[in-house]
């Protein structure tokens, strides 16, 4: 699927280059959930080796009803709920390994007691601590994957914070409490460098360094973060100060990002001017005058828009005004799209940009699920449905089924 997305974007740019904003330079946004999956999968061999004893013990318990019954007897005696079956991980789903470890940690005392009674190999206390550390490590990536996989609310403005969280997990010594986590972080960092890490490698040979030290993050996602009124330019400085090696690099990257913002603002201004020029003028013939109240409201709206345009011409641009104002307070229930909707009169150009940039999904999970759903509805034995009916069934399923918390649907390898 990622390869198909890349090919589709290349074809779009090839044949519709001049119809796209800035010739489609930032059209292709990689699926963040897929990249997160790749990062963790690179370290799964290390993880599997570190938790091998726990997995084998769980397999032993789950291998027969009698053994499971013995396990449940011990669990009941210790005040824990009984199990109908033991959760085991699947090789190509790293989050299944995390779920297995969560379950194993909960029944740690039961598993140790069971192993002692059955004379099975039991993980040592050090191995349990190692598994607990791996579990916490994977939990962070599970939460990040659910964040980027959400598809019923905007996610593009969360991209830079997600990158910082990943870097924190891989670079902060506080996370790396065991040698296995240090090794795991090193393997995953190599993959992170390939996709998202803009930090300059001072120790690399000059001919191996990136030709341009422009950040290798998609500019569209950087702009989406900039268009979050809680972050703006301040967060760009904060982000680059975390990932760049010196202050000069920080300032350079922020200037590059703001230059792209200005270029897109000019593009949207041209689009707005073209739209106004070709819009149908109001009829000057015989018209029916509505109620005075309706007319007054309309005039007030027009006056508000006129004031906004006049101020932008006489004083400063929308972009300058947006930058000069203080950032909004960061609350859990903050609605970024709602804020731009309310600010559309004040920032007509930036609000149009926000609608487009904040609509960029960070993950292709939702679209892949839609295609999978279509394949199940229009199968080999039921292939005569009209396209309209297929579309109606797919949409109805999506509208009727709203996952709790808008969570992701899993992460396949």
Taking the C-alpha atoms of residue 132 and residue 129, their distance in angstroms, rounded to an integer, is: 5
Based on the fold, state whether residues 227 and 301 are members of the same structural domain: yes
Judged by phi (left if over 0) then psi (alpha if -120 to 50, else beta), residue 312 lies in: alpha
Long-range contacts (CB closer than 8 Å, 24 or more residues apart) made by 307-315: 308/345, 308/346, 308/348
User: At 41, which helix (H) or strand (E)?
Assistant: helix 32-42
Is residue 343 domain-resident? yes
Number of domains in the chain: 3
> For residue 6, what are the domain limits?
1-30
Based on the fold, state whether residues 329 and 229 are members of the same structural domain: yes
| Helical segments of 244-384, H only | 247-278, 292-314, 318-324, 336-342, 348-357, 365-377
Is residue 157 domain-resident? no
Determine the pLDDT at residue 233.
93
Nearest one of 102, 92, 238 to 167, comparing CA atoms: 238
In tens digits, the chain (413 residues) has pLDDT values of 556 667 777 777 877 877 788 878 888 787 787 888 888 887 787 887 778 899 899 999 999 999 999 999 999 999 999 988 888 887 667 888 888 999 999 999 999 999 999 898 888 888 898 888 888 888 888 888 888 887 778 989 999 998 888 888 888 777 677 778 888 888 888 877 777 655 444 444 444 444 334 446 889 999 999 999 999 999 999 999 988 888 888 999 999 999 999 999 999 998 888 776 555 555 444 444 555 666 667 777 777 777 666 655 555 789 999 999 999 998 888 999 999 999 999 999 999 999 999 998 887 766 666 556 656 666 666 667 787 887 788 777 767 766 554 444 444 44
Q: What is the DSSP string of 79-109?
A: T----SS----BTTBHHHHHHHHHHHHHTHH
Based on the fold, state whether residues 307 and 376 are members of the same structural domain: no
Based on the fold, state whether residues 348 and 260 are members of the same structural domain: yes
Final residue in a domain of this structure, among 357, 378, 393: 357
List C-alpha distances in Å: 302 to 242, 277, 307, 309, 340: 45, 17, 9, 11, 19
Entry field: residues in the chain: 413
Determine the pLDDT at residue 110.
93
For residue 312, how many other CB atoms are within 10 A of its CB? 18
Based on the fold, state whether residues 262 and 310 are members of the same structural domain: yes
Based on the fold, state whether residues 229 and 341 are members of the same structural domain: yes
């Amino acid at each position: 699927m990622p390869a198909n997305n890349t090919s589709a974007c290349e074809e779009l740019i090839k044949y519709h280059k001049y119809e796209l904003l800035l010739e489609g330079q930032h059209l292709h946004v990689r699926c963040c959930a897929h990249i997160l999956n790749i990062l963790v999968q690179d370290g799964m061999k290390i993880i599997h080796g570190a938790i091998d004893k726990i997995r084998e013990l769980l397999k032993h318990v789950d291998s027969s009803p009698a053994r499971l019954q013995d396990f449940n007897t011990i669990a009941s005696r210790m005040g824990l709920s009984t199990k109908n079956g033991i959760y085991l991980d699947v090789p190509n789903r790293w989050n299944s390994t995390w779920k297995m470890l969560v379950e194993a940690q909960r029944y740690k005392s039961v598993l140790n007691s069971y192993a002692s009674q059955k004379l099975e190999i039991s993980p040592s206390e050090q191995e349990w601590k190692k598994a607990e550390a791996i579990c916490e490590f994977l939990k962070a990536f599970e939460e990040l994957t659910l964040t980027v996989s959400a598809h019923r609310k905007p996610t593009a403005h969360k991209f830079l914070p997600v990158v910082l969280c990943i870097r924190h997990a891989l670079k902060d010594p506080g996370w790396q409490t065991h040698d296995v986590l240090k090794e795991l972080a090193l393997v995953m960092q190599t993959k992170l460098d390939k996709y998202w890490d803009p930090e300059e490698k001072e120790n690399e040979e000059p001919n191996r360094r990136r030709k341009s030290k422009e950040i290798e993050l998609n500019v569209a996602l950087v702009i989406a973060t900039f268009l979050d009124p809680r972050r703006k330019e301040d967060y760009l400085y904060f982000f680059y100060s975390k990932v760049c090696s010196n202050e000069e690099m920080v300032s350079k990257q922020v200037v590059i990002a703001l230059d792209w913002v200005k270029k897109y603002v000019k593009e949207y201004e041209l689009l707005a001017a073209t739209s106004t020029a070709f819009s149908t003028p109001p009829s000057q013939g015989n018209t029916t005058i509505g109620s005075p109240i309706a007319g007054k409201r309309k005039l007030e709206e027009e006056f508000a828009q006129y004031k906004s345009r006049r101020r932008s011409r006489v004083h400063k641009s929308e972009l300058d005004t947006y930058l000069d104002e203080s950032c909004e307070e960061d609350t859990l229930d903050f609605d970024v799209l709602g804020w731009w909707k309310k600010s559309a009169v004040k920032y007509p150009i930036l609000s149009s940009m926000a609608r487009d940039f904040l609509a960029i999904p960070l993950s292709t999970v939702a679209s892949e699920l839609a295609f999978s759903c279509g394949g199940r509805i229009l199968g080999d034995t039921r292939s005569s449905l009209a396209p309209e009916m297929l579309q109606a069934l797919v949409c109805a399923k999506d509208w009727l089924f709203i996952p709790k918390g808008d969570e992701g649907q899993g992460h396949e390898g």
